């Protein structure tokens, strides 16, 4: 995988479709994507994220599904790379149409009774300008079937593609308003937690949640706040329309690793809370570590 030198935040399907702390003021809380000012990336950011490696973190996962908690594993892989802005795919060569992005590959693996779930989302956040995620691609595989969902940021809106094995969802395309996406929040936290959007704004829920609960994709009204808790930041987003709250806990100093995240909503008859807690973090050019002799790195991550 070729990393770009810097220039001047899942379609989930099932067998049935059914703090406290000290407040931190936000810098600017955009309601929608209207600001195209450049991102001010620190020297520490450039040294860390343009060193030719990715950051890989493993998490102990407790996933709510069908009204029960399931033990599993989550992984977050953060890396910078060049993206072709026109086709919105990873660039194979240097070109004027390339933009620098930070990518998050987020996975979850857990079992529901006899059968396994495998979830993955890829989110691409531009690093040259202050805009929302350029692209989100998400998928799930489980024994009932598999599904795929994609968001492309074009023409001041998101073009949404959904392929699902449910007849009621089928193969669907639509366009929704441009807004902050939940999938990009972990990426923005890695840039600077204090610059996160706060107060009231529009947000597109994560692809994982949309498919898990079979909710149509749309920008909804949310409120968010950043608080301090000792040596940590807590970023909490309340989504009244979904009766849901998502919270991220990060380090208070660079590189702002995500120490845990929770997702509280009604699953079945009761409110339940999906939670992931950090186990291990390594930095590696993992794309070149594909030999049998490299499997020890999974042990380092507790996988």
Confidence at 17, pLDDT banded by 50, 70, 90: very low
Cα–Cα distances (Å) from 286 to 6, 28, 295, in that order, read: 21, 36, 11
- Greatest Cα pair distance, the chain, in angstroms, is 53
Please tell me the predicted confidence (pLDDT) of residue 148: 95
**Is residue 34 scored above 80 in pLDDT?**
no
What's the whole-number mean pLDDT along residues 271-288? Answer: 97
What's the whole-number mean pLDDT along residues 280-290? Answer: 96
| Residue 81 neighbours by CB distance under 10 Å | 17
Structure tokens at 293: 């002799």
Residues in the chain: 303
Please tell me the predicted confidence (pLDDT) of residue 155: 78
Please tell me the predicted confidence (pLDDT) of residue 161: 96
**Beta-bridge partners for 126:** 101
Tens digits of residue pLDDT in 200-239: 999 999 999 998 889 999 999 999 999 999 999 999 999 9
Euclidean distance between CA atoms 176 and 210, whole angstroms: 14
Please tell me the predicted confidence (pLDDT) of residue 1: 43
Please tell me the predicted confidence (pLDDT) of residue 10: 36
Please tell me the predicted confidence (pLDDT) of residue 77: 98
**Beta-bridge partners for 273:** 264
Please tell me the predicted confidence (pLDDT) of residue 24: 56
Tens digits of residue pLDDT in 139-195: 999 999 999 999 999 977 999 999 998 888 889 999 999 999 999 999 999 999 999
Please tell me the predicted confidence (pLDDT) of residue 114: 97
Tens digits of residue pLDDT in 37-96: 899 899 999 999 999 999 999 999 999 999 999 999 999 999 999 999 999 999 999 999
Please tell me the predicted confidence (pLDDT) of residue 100: 95
CB of 193 closer than 8 Å to CB of 226: yes
User: Can you point out the beta strands (E) in the chain?
Assistant: 22-24, 54-65, 68-84, 89-90, 98-112, 115-126, 135-142, 145-154, 157-163, 171-177, 180-181, 199-204, 220-229, 232-239, 244-251, 258-267, 270-284
Choose between 21 and 13: higher pLDDT: 21
What's the whole-number mean pLDDT along residues 229-258? Answer: 97
What's the whole-number mean pLDDT along residues 128-144? Answer: 95
What's the whole-number mean pLDDT along residues 107-126? Answer: 97
Please tell me the predicted confidence (pLDDT) of residue 51: 95
Q: Is residue 190 within a helix (H) or strand (E), and if so which, with residue range? A: helix 185-191
Euclidean distance between CA atoms 34 and 45, whole angstroms: 25
**Is residue 29 scored above 50 in pLDDT?**
no
What's the whole-number mean pLDDT along residues 231-250? Answer: 97
Please tell me the predicted confidence (pLDDT) of residue 269: 83
Please tell me the predicted confidence (pLDDT) of residue 27: 44
pTM: 0.88
**Is residue 4 scored above 90 in pLDDT?**
no
**Is residue 196 scored above 70 in pLDDT?**
yes
């Amino acid at each position: 995988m070729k990393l770009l030198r810097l220039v001047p935040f899942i379609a989930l399907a099932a067998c049935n479709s059914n703090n406290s702390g000290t407040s931190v003021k936000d810098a600017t809380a955009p309601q929608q994507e209207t600001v195209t000012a450049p991102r001010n990336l620190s020297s520490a950011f450039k040294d860390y994220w343009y060193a030719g490696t990715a950051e890989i973190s493993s998490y102990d996962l407790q996933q709510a599904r069908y009204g029960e908690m399931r033990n599993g594993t989550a992984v977050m892989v953060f890396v910078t790379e060049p993206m072709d802005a026109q086709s919105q795919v990873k660039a194979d060569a240097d070109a004027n149409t390339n933009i620098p992005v930070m990518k998050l590959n987020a996975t979850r693996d857990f079992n529901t009774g006899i059968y396994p779930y495998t979830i993955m989302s890829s989110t691409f956040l531009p690093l040259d300008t202050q805009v929302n995620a350029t692209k989100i691609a998400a998928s799930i595989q489980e024994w009932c079937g598999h599904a795929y969902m994609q968001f492309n940021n074009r023409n001041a809106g998101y073009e949404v593609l959904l392929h699902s094995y449910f007849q009621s969802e089928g193969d669907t395309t639509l366009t929704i308003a441009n807004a902050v996406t939940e999938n990009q929040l972990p990426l923005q936290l890695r840039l600077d937690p204090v610059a996160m959007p706060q107060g009231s704004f529009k947000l597109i829920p994560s692809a994982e949640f949309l498919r898990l609960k079979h909710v149509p994709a749309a920008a909804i009204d949310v409120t968010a706040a950043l608080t301090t808790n000792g040596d940590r930041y807590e970023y909490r987003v309340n989504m009244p329309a979904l009766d849901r709250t998502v919270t991220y806990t990060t380090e208070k100093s660079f590189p702002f690793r995500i120490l845990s995240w929770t997702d509280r909503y009604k699953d079945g008859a009761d409110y339940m809370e999906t939670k992931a807690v950090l186990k291990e973090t390594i930095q590696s050019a993992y794309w070149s570590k594909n030999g049998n002799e490299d499997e020890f790195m999974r042990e380092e991550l507790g996988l």
